[in-house]
Structure 1
Amino acid sequence: MILIGYALTQIGWFDERYSRVTSKLVTQIALPCYMINTITSKFSRNELFQIFPDLKFPILSMTILFIASYGFQYLLRINPEHYGLFKSMFSNSNTVFVGLPVNMALFGKASIPYVLIYYMANTTFFWTLGVYLIRRDGDSKERMSLLAIFKKIFSPPLLGFMFGVVLVLLNIKLPNFILTDTKYIGSLTIPLSMFFIGMKLAQVGIRNIHFSRDMFGICFGRFILAPLLTFVLVYAAHVPDIMKEVFVIQSAMPVMTNAPVVAKLYNADSDYAAVMVTTTTVLSLIVVPILMNLVTRIF
């Protein structure tokens, strides 16, 4: 599906406007419906109560990664103009457009609550600390208000997840026709997400990938340090094995696709961010199967 999205963009079927529409359709319509349908149809109140304390694992992992990013930026002599972007991309992963379809393909619907738990921590880190760091790289006078940041954190997918949780906790049953609609609309999430990845790869251009110290540092953080750290944190924990596997896979996702958008808003180096998104997305196609094979053998 990624290759189809890439090929159709190359021959002119999809353009930048279409990729923006696809992004909105997934994040604002399809994914919230997917969350509501999955949570209300697959989980009980007791199961939900058991998974929320597991937020501590991604929060602790991202905090340690952020602290480590300071050391790597000096060790690798990163350009001071890229300090904020480097730390943000080093610490945060693409938990929706790549993480969700990958985990669904690997573990099925049972992975959804753990994907969303990781997503809650990741999106909060990015839209608070991550945005602050990227803003420091730029010279723009644009300022994102607290209300805007609040809206980014409580995005439609997270609100859909929370709405589904409330329905389960209050034992409220939605009418069958609504559940059917959420199921059909939600089923758009995976294929459109994969198409979107292919579109962005084609638009940014794989030819723009050039090896550098920055690229080494971010790839090391995303694909080696983050999953290794998460593995250490969850290995001895008394939690389901599928949660351990999902958290490790989620931690090794590529750079968030929002990074270039935020960089452009604040006049930081959006091209630098876009190249890192492209590089890590391409490499994730190689890393994820290897990592999947390792975690399923260990857990």
Structure 2
Amino acid sequence: MLTGFLLVKCHSLREDQTGGLSNVLTKAALPATILMSCQIPFNWRIVSIIGQSAIVSLLFMILTLVVSLLVPHIFHVQGSLKSIWIGCCTFSNILFIGIPIIGAIYGKTGLITLVTYNAFSNLFLFTFGLKLYSGQTQFEWRKLLLTPAIFASFLGFMLFFAKISLAGPVGQALTSLGNMTAPLSMLITGALFAGTDIKKVFRRLDIYQFCFTRLVLLPTILVPLLKLGIQNKVILGVMVIAAAMPAGAINTAMAELYAGQGERASEYVVSSTVFSMLTIPLVAYLSLFV
């Protein structure tokens, strides 16, 4: 993150170049990580984890959405800003920040749980999220299935259940490509910080209200329910970390495309990412290790 920040401040990385790096991340490195995370020898324990993860992920997304719909009323958020609040609370940055954290703690078993959760998150994004930001009610299945991360998820699960291993040069190349995901996502995040007027952003009350909601209130509500209903420690850990994540960058793109409010959404994404460097370790420690 510091590298990305300094590259922008030293004029070695421009905004248009950051967009290109984002394309490399979302269309190459991230799909490779997702695909290779499914390259686990087939066994019924993993199948059971995938099934449990699917059920938990669906319930988790529904519960997150319900809380996100209620929270704006507490802070009297109105108009188009209300949609941004709901979207940024519901759709978090689980992949770009979650992959390095979950991969380090839980390995490939945690990553395949994360991939399962992400599939349901994208399903909600391209149905409810699309309606939230644009008012459209028509759902395009093709657009969802051709999203690189979703396509890689389906392909990865197919290879897993078919017991097909991507060995040799192909597997090594995809692994090397996937290894770029964590550093590249952090570098882009740092570049995003450098392009934001941090002093201006952190003078606004609504920034602190949103960060409190996304990073403190949501985990406070969700984590006890997760611990009550989930016995598997890996699934519990992934969902706890998901609950603690900051707002996802996808909200910026959708808010700009459909509502012309990309700048406001990016302020919530950046500010919540800054504070999450403190809150993610705290939530994870209190929830999983105390």
TM-score, length-scaled by structure 2: 0.89
Contact 1:111 1:242 (8 Å CA) reproduced: yes
Distance of 1:107 and 1:211 partners within structure 2? 38
Contact 1:78 1:214 (8 Å CA) reproduced: no
The offset of 1:131, in angstroms, is 2.4
Q: 1:47 aligns with which of 13, 29, 45?
A: 45
Structure 1 runs not aligned, ≥5 long:
137-142
Q: SS of the residue aligned with 2:219?
A: helix
Q: Does 1:63 find its partner at 2:62?
A: yes
The structure-2 alpha-carbon separation of the partners of 1:192 and 1:145, relative to structure 1 and needing over 3 Å to count, comes to farther
Distance of 2:110 and 2:124 partners within structure 1? 22
State the partner residue of 2:6: 7
The offset of 1:47, in angstroms, is 3.4
State the partner residue of 1:29: 28
Q: Does 1:167 find its partner at 2:159?
A: yes
Write out aligned runs for 1:145-156 (5 A). 146-147=139-140, 150-152=142-144, 154-156=146-148
The offset of 1:144, in angstroms, is 9.5
Q: Does 1:99 find its partner at 2:98?
A: yes
Give 4+ residue runs of structure 1 displaced > 6 Å after superposition: none
The structure-2 alpha-carbon separation of the partners of 1:5 and 1:75, relative to structure 1 and needing over 3 Å to count, comes to same
Q: SS of the residue aligned with 1:88?
A: helix
State the partner residue of 2:80: 81
The offset of 1:221, in angstroms, is 3.0
Q: SS of the residue aligned with 1:253?
A: coil
State the partner residue of 1:192: 184
The structure-2 alpha-carbon separation of the partners of 1:288 and 1:106, relative to structure 1 and needing over 3 Å to count, comes to farther
State the partner residue of 2:127: 128
Contact 1:48 1:165 (8 Å CA) reproduced: no
Q: SS of the residue aligned with 2:281?
A: helix
State the partner residue of 2:264: 272
Contact 2:8 2:191 (8 Å CA) reproduced: yes
1:180-208: CA deviation from partner (whole Å, max 9, x where unpaired): 11111111111111111111111233223
The offset of 1:235, in angstroms, is 1.4
1:218-272: CA deviation from partner (whole Å, max 9, x where unpaired): 3233212332333233313454212211111112111110112111112332221
The structure-2 alpha-carbon separation of the partners of 1:48 and 1:72, relative to structure 1 and needing over 3 Å to count, comes to same
Structure 2 runs not aligned, ≥5 long:
none
1:41-80: CA deviation from partner (whole Å, max 9, x where unpaired): x342423421233223233233233223333222211132
Q: 2:241 aligns with which of 230, 249, 255?
A: 249
Distance of 1:67 and 1:238 partners within structure 2? 20
The structure-2 alpha-carbon separation of the partners of 1:70 and 1:183, relative to structure 1 and needing over 3 Å to count, comes to closer
The structure-2 alpha-carbon separation of the partners of 1:150 and 1:204, relative to structure 1 and needing over 3 Å to count, comes to farther
The amino acid of 1:178's aligned partner reads V
Q: SS of the residue aligned with 2:195?
A: helix
Distance of 2:145 and 2:155 partners within structure 1? 15
Contact 2:38 2:108 (8 Å CA) reproduced: no
Distance of 2:62 and 2:83 partners within structure 1? 15
Q: SS of the residue aligned with 2:284?
A: helix
State the partner residue of 1:290: 282
Distance of 1:213 and 1:58 partners within structure 2? 32
The structure-2 alpha-carbon separation of the partners of 1:192 and 1:218, relative to structure 1 and needing over 3 Å to count, comes to same
TM-score, length-scaled by structure 1: 0.87
The offset of 1:21, in angstroms, is 1.4
Contact 2:25 2:181 (8 Å CA) reproduced: yes
The offset of 1:287, in angstroms, is 0.6
State the partner residue of 2:117: 118
State the partner residue of 2:37: 38
The structure-2 alpha-carbon separation of the partners of 1:61 and 1:221, relative to structure 1 and needing over 3 Å to count, comes to farther
The offset of 1:152, in angstroms, is 4.0
Percent identity at matched positions? 22
State the partner residue of 1:203: 195
The amino acid of 2:54's aligned partner reads L
Distance of 1:44 and 1:239 partners within structure 2? 22
The structure-2 alpha-carbon separation of the partners of 1:107 and 1:205, relative to structure 1 and needing over 3 Å to count, comes to farther
The offset of 1:280, in angstroms, is 0.3
Distance of 2:281 and 2:88 partners within structure 1? 22
State the partner residue of 2:71: 72
The offset of 1:94, in angstroms, is 0.9
Q: SS of the residue aligned with 2:260?
A: coil
Q: SS of the residue aligned with 2:241?
A: helix
